[in-house]
Structure 1
Amino acid sequence: MPNDLLNRINYVHVGKHGTFYPDTNPLYNSTPPEIDSLFKFLKENNKSKLLLYFHGGLVPADEGLKTAERIVRYCNSGSDSHAFCFVWETGWMKTITDNLTTISNSDFFRKILIKVLKVTGPKLGIEPDDLFDGAKGFGQFTEEAIEAELRKEAPFESYQINTGAKSATILDAESSMDESGIQILQSELQAELEFEIESDPELQELISAEKSQAEEDILDPKYKHSSEENAKGLITTMEVIIGATKVALRVIKRYIKKRNHDFYPTVAEETMRELYVSELGNWLWGNMKQKAADMWKHSDFEGNFFQWPVGLYFIKKLAEYQEETSKKLTIDLVGHSAGSIVICELIKMISAKGYDIKFRNIIFMAPACRTDLFENTILKNPSIFSSFRCFTMSDECEKKDRLFYFVYPRSLLYLISGILEDKSDALILGLQRHTIGNHPYNDDHSIIISDFLKKEGHTVYAVTDKSAVEGYRSSARKHGAFDDDKETTLDSIIHIIKQ
C-alpha cells in the first residue's frame, strides 16, 4: 500500500497487458493525469534529473510499492534526481513457488528423479564425494543412499567426473563435439530404465495411482489420469519409461555440449520439463515478458484510457515536455531482474519510433533478460545511452543462492535459464557463465556481449571486496537482495546518478 513517502509523482501502476487497466485494489490504480502531474512537478520545481526504476517482474503490487518507496528514499537522500518507479507487478512468483512445493511433495516426481540419477550418473562418470569414503562411482549408490542425498539442502553438490568411468559412446561424442552419435545410447538407456521402473513395485503403484489435485493441475497432459491425450484415463508404465529415457538423453546431451548446470540441477530441470514444464511456470514467465513489451506498444490514445499502454503514454508526455520546455532531462534507467527486460523493450521502442530521447546511464541489477534481447536492443542502439553498468553475482555466489532446496538448489536466474525459458540453458545476461566468452558460450553473438561487458566499468560481480571503489560495490548474495535496504549496490547506484 502506498505510504507517506510515496505519492503519485513517484510511481505509476501498470495494469494487465501493460495498460492503465484498474487493479482490484483501487489504491494501486493509476491514471494518465497522474503522469501529467509528474511533468508539471518537474517543470514547476525546475528538476533536471529523472531516475526511472523498474523492479523485478514476479513480485506482487505491495512488494513493488515497497521497493518503490526504498528507491525514492535512497534517491531523495543521496542525489538531486527525481525517482519515478514503474510498478508493473505480476505476482507470479507465488504461483511458481506453490508449484515447486507441489513437486517437492510428489513421490512420483521423486521416484522418476532417482531413476534418472541412477542411470545417467555412471554413464557420465559422476563420482559424488562421500563423507566417509571419498569419491565413489555412482553405480555404488543404492536408492536409499540417493534418497538420503535428496534430503540435503543441495543434493550431490560435491562430485568429481571420472573420465575413465564414462560411457565410451559419450567419450566419442565429446571428442568429436557431435551429439548425433549419442542416439545409439537411447536403446541402452531405455532398457536400463525399463528394468528399474518395472522392477519397482512402489513406482508401479505411483504410476497407476491418482495424483493430488495440485499435481494433476500442473502435470503435462500425457501424464494426467484424465485428459484428451490420455483418453483411457490411465498412465501406462511404457509411457513413463519413454519419458524417463527422454530426460536421461537430454541430460547426457547437455553434458556433451557443456551446457549442463551441474549434475543434480540438470537432472531436476529436465525431469520437471518432461513431467510439468508447460504448466510449471514458463507460460507465466512468457506472459510476464509480454507485459514488459506491451507497456510500450503502439496506441493512438483514443477511447477509454484503461486500454492505453502506460509506458508509451509516459514516453509521449516526456517527449512533449522536452519539446515544450526546450530542456533535455538527464535520465537514468535502473532495472532489477526482469526490469531489465522492460528497459530492453523501451530501447527497442525508442529506436523504432525515432523519439529524440537519450538516456545517461543504463544500470542493471541481476538482469533476467536473455542475451539475444540485450544484443538486439541495447547493443544495437549505442547512441540512445551514454553509459552502462551491470551488477550481478559471480557464478560461485549464484550457485549458492538456493531457491528451493532439494527441488531446485540454484538461483532464480538459473531457474529461468533451465526451466522457465523455452529451451534449456537459455542464455541469461545476469548469469556470469553465459557472458564471459568461455566455451561453449563463445559464438560470435556471445563474444560481442562478453567484449561489451568486459569494458572498464561495465560489470560488477558480487560479492565485491573491501578495496572496491564507490560506484563499484555490491554485497548481494541473493538474487532479490540487490535493491534491499543497507545493500551497497543501491549506494553504488546513487553514487553513479549523483554525478
Structure 2
Amino acid sequence: MAVSGCSIVLKDGELMGSSRLDLKTTMESVRNAGGNPTIAIHFHGGLVGQSDAEGAASKLAPEYASTGSVPIFVIWQTGLFETLQNNWKEIFKTEFFEGILERVLQFLVGRAEQPPGARGAPLDVPHPKEVRKEVAKRKTGEEPYQGLNPEPAKMAPDLTVAEDQQFKEAILKDASLAASAHAILKNADVRQFEPELQDAIRDSEKEMAAGGRGLITAFVLGVAVKAFMGALRRLNRGRGHGLYVTAVEEVAKAIFAADVFGRFAWNAMKQDTKDAFQDGDERFGGTALLYELEQIWAHGLRPRIVLVGHSAGAIFVCEMLKAAAKRLPADIKFEIILLAPACTFTLFDSMLTLAPDRIAAFRCFGMSDEFEQKDAMLGNLYPRSLLYLVSGALEEAADEPLLGMQRFHSRKSPFSDDEIPGIKRVIETIGSREHTWIWSMSSIGAGFDCGAASHGGFDFEPNTLSSVKHILQNGT
C-alpha cells in the first residue's frame, strides 16, 4: 500500500497548525504498511517563504512518490530572498554608500594597476568621473571592473606613507561625500549602522547640533579606511570575489549593522534549524521527526531514510544528524542528498565529528564556479549567487568556505589543507567515492547529472531532479 506522505510547517522551529497530527498519521501509515520503504525528507532552501515552499512541495511530492518513496516536506518559513532584495536595494539607494564604494574602487584600481617597482610613490588612480562611468555599467547588466583581476601581491594591505596620505586626503577633500554623510546622519536611526560606528555617530549628532563638522569627517574617514583595508586584505590573500564585488561586500559591512545587509536574518534562520531540535516532540518539528523515526525502528521496520537539503536546507540536515547522534539508536543511518548546500565547512565538519557513523551514503550537487559567478541573485547590484553573498557578507568571516561552492574544493592555496584543514577533513571523510561532488553542467549518467545554472533552480531542473529520483529509487 502506497503512503502519500505529508508536509509539516514550522515557525521558529515549532510545529504549526495540524503538522504534528499530519506527521503522526503519515508515520503510522508507514508502520501499518510494513516492509522497508524509502522515507524522503526534504528541507527547502532559505530564499523561499511558506507559500512558495508549499507550492514547490505539491509539485515535488508526486515526483518523489513515483520512485516509491514516502515524501515528507519540512516547510520552515524563511523567505530570506525578500529581506535581502529589499534591504540591498535600500543600501544602494544610499548616496553615502555609493560615495564610499566609488572611492574604495578608485584606490583599489590604482593599486591593481600600479607598475612594478612603484611602491612608495602616490598611486596613479582613475578620476572619480571614470570610476562613476565604470560603476554605471551596472545599468546595462555589466559588472564593473570585471576584466581587472589584480595579482594578490599587488594588493598588500600595508600602505606606504604616500598611499595612506593620498587616500585620506581624497576622502577628506570629497565635499559630496561629506554632504552625503551629513544627510544620512541627520535623520538616521543609529541602530542601522555597524556597531563600532554607533558611538561615533552619537557624538557626531551632538556636534552637528552645535554647528560642528569635525566628527563627521572622522566618521567618513573611519568607514572608508575600514572598507578599503578589508578589501585589500582579502584580495591580497586570494579571498576576494572579484574587485567590484569584494568592494561592495566590504563597504556594506563597514557601514551597516548586521540586520541591514542581512546577516541578522541569516543568523536567525540558522538558529531556527537548531531550535527545531529542542526537547518536546509535540512542539518542535525536528524532534518530532526523530521521535517518529524511532517509533518505526521500535516496530521492527528498517526503512531507508534519505534527507534532501537544498541551500540552507543543508544546515537543517546537519542539525538533524547532530541531534540524531544524541537521540536515536546507533543503527539508524541516513542517506544524504545536498543541492547547492549553503552550510559552512565548519558546520559540516562539526557534524561529522558528532555523528561520524550516521551517513550511509552521500551525494552533493552544486553549480560550477563559472555559473556561481554569473547567477546574479540581486541583479546588477550584486552580480553573484546567494552562496557568494552568504560567504562574503552574511557569515561572520569574509569568504567563509561553504560546502556548496566549487571554489573551496580545489585544496590549493588559498584553500590548501594547511590553510583550511576543515576542508581536507570533510572531503577526505565524505568524498572517498568517485563522483561524490557533482558540479553543473554534468552529464555523467543516471544519478550523476546536473544542469542547474541558478541557485534557485535545483529542485526542478530536469537533469538534477532526475538524478535525485534515481538515487531515491536505486541508491547512490
TM-score (norm 2): 0.87
Deviation at 1:212, TM superposition (A): 9.9
Q: Cα 1:438–1:494, aligned 2, differ >3 Å: closer, same or farther?
A: same
Q: How far, CA to CA, are the matches of 2:396 and 2:232 in structure 1?
A: 19
Matched, 1:355 2:329: yes
Q: Cα 1:430–1:212, aligned 2, differ >3 Å: closer, same or farther?
A: farther
Structure 1 residues 97-118: Cα deviation after superposition (integer angstroms, max 9, x where no partner): 1111101222211110010111
Partner residue of 1:156? 145
Say how many residue pairs are matched. 449
The answer to whether the 8 A contact 1:370-1:429 is kept is yes
Select between 100-109 and 413-422 the one with higher mean Cα deviation.
100-109
Q: How far, CA to CA, are the matches of 2:187 and 2:159 in structure 1?
A: 38
Select between 107-116 and 46-55 the one with higher mean Cα deviation.
46-55
Deviation at 1:339, TM superposition (A): 0.4
Read off the aligned partner of 2:33 and give its amino acid letter: N
Matched, 1:122 2:105: no
Q: Cα 1:73–1:273, aligned 2, differ >3 Å: closer, same or farther?
A: same
Partner residue of 1:44? 32
Find the partner of 2:450 among 474, 483, 491. 474
Partner residue of 1:446? 423
Read off the aligned partner of 1:448 and give its amino acid letter: R
What is the identity percentage for the equivalent residue pairs of Structure 1 and Structure 2?
Answer: 26
1:32-431 matched pairs, under 5 angstroms: 32-46=20-34, 48-77=37-66, 79-125=67-113, 139=124, 141-151=126-136, 152=138, 153=141, 154-161=143-150, 166=154, 170=156, 182-183=157-158, 185=160, 188-210=162-184, 218-220=192-194, 228=202, 232=206, 234=208, 236-279=216-259, 280-299=261-280, 305=282, 308-323=283-298, 325-356=299-330, 358-378=332-352, 381-431=355-405
Structure 1 residues 11-68: Cα deviation after superposition (integer angstroms, max 9, x where no partner): 100122x012x4xxxxxx3342222101122133346211000001232100111221
Read off the aligned partner of 2:52 and give its amino acid letter: E
Q: Cα 1:163–1:295, aligned 2, differ >3 Å: closer, same or farther?
A: closer
Q: Cα 1:67–1:229, aligned 2, differ >3 Å: closer, same or farther?
A: farther
Q: How far, CA to CA, are the matches of 1:243 and 1:226 in structure 2?
A: 11
Q: How far, CA to CA, are the matches of 1:331 and 1:120 in structure 2?
A: 51
Q: Cα 1:162–1:495, aligned 2, differ >3 Å: closer, same or farther?
A: closer
The answer to whether the 8 A contact 2:204-2:216 is kept is no
The answer to whether the 8 A contact 1:126-1:160 is kept is no
Structure 1 residues 448-477: Cα deviation after superposition (integer angstroms, max 9, x where no partner): 223343630211001224xx2111111111
Read off the aligned partner of 2:412 and give its amino acid letter: N
Deviation at 1:402, TM superposition (A): 1.1
Q: How far, CA to CA, are the matches of 1:269 and 1:339 in structure 2?
A: 24
Q: How far, CA to CA, are the matches of 1:188 and 1:321 in structure 2?
A: 71
The answer to whether the 8 A contact 2:369-2:405 is kept is yes
The answer to whether the 8 A contact 2:309-2:341 is kept is yes
The answer to whether the 8 A contact 2:96-2:184 is kept is no
DSSP-derived class of the 1:498 partner? helix
Deviation at 1:354, TM superposition (A): 4.3
Read off the aligned partner of 2:31 and give its amino acid letter: K
Read off the aligned partner of 1:332 and give its amino acid letter: V
Q: How far, CA to CA, are the matches of 2:320 and 2:152 in structure 1?
A: 48
TM-score (norm 1): 0.83
Read off the aligned partner of 1:11 and give its amino acid letter: S
DSSP-derived class of the 2:289 partner? helix
Q: How far, CA to CA, are the matches of 1:212 and 1:420 in structure 2?
A: 28
Q: How far, CA to CA, are the matches of 1:126 and 1:216 in structure 2?
A: 38
Read off the aligned partner of 2:338 and give its amino acid letter: F
The answer to whether the 8 A contact 1:14-1:87 is kept is yes
DSSP-derived class of the 1:74 partner? helix
Q: How far, CA to CA, are the matches of 2:188 and 2:40 in structure 1?
A: 42
Structure 1 residues 259-299: Cα deviation after superposition (integer angstroms, max 9, x where no partner): 11121111111101101142221111111111111111233
Structure 1 residues 72-101: Cα deviation after superposition (integer angstroms, max 9, x where no partner): 121123x00111010012223211111111
**Cα RMSD, aligned residues only:** 2.7
Q: Cα 1:472–1:344, aligned 2, differ >3 Å: closer, same or farther?
A: same
Partner residue of 2:212? none
Matched, 1:458 2:436: yes
5+ residue gaps, structure 2, are 116-122, 209-214
DSSP-derived class of the 2:362 partner? strand
Q: How far, CA to CA, are the matches of 2:90 and 2:295 in structure 1?
A: 50
Q: How far, CA to CA, are the matches of 1:61 and 1:126 in structure 2?
A: 51
Q: How far, CA to CA, are the matches of 2:434 and 2:207 in structure 1?
A: 60
Q: How far, CA to CA, are the matches of 1:214 and 1:463 in structure 2?
A: 47
5+ residue gaps, structure 1, are 1-5, 23-28, 128-137, 171-181
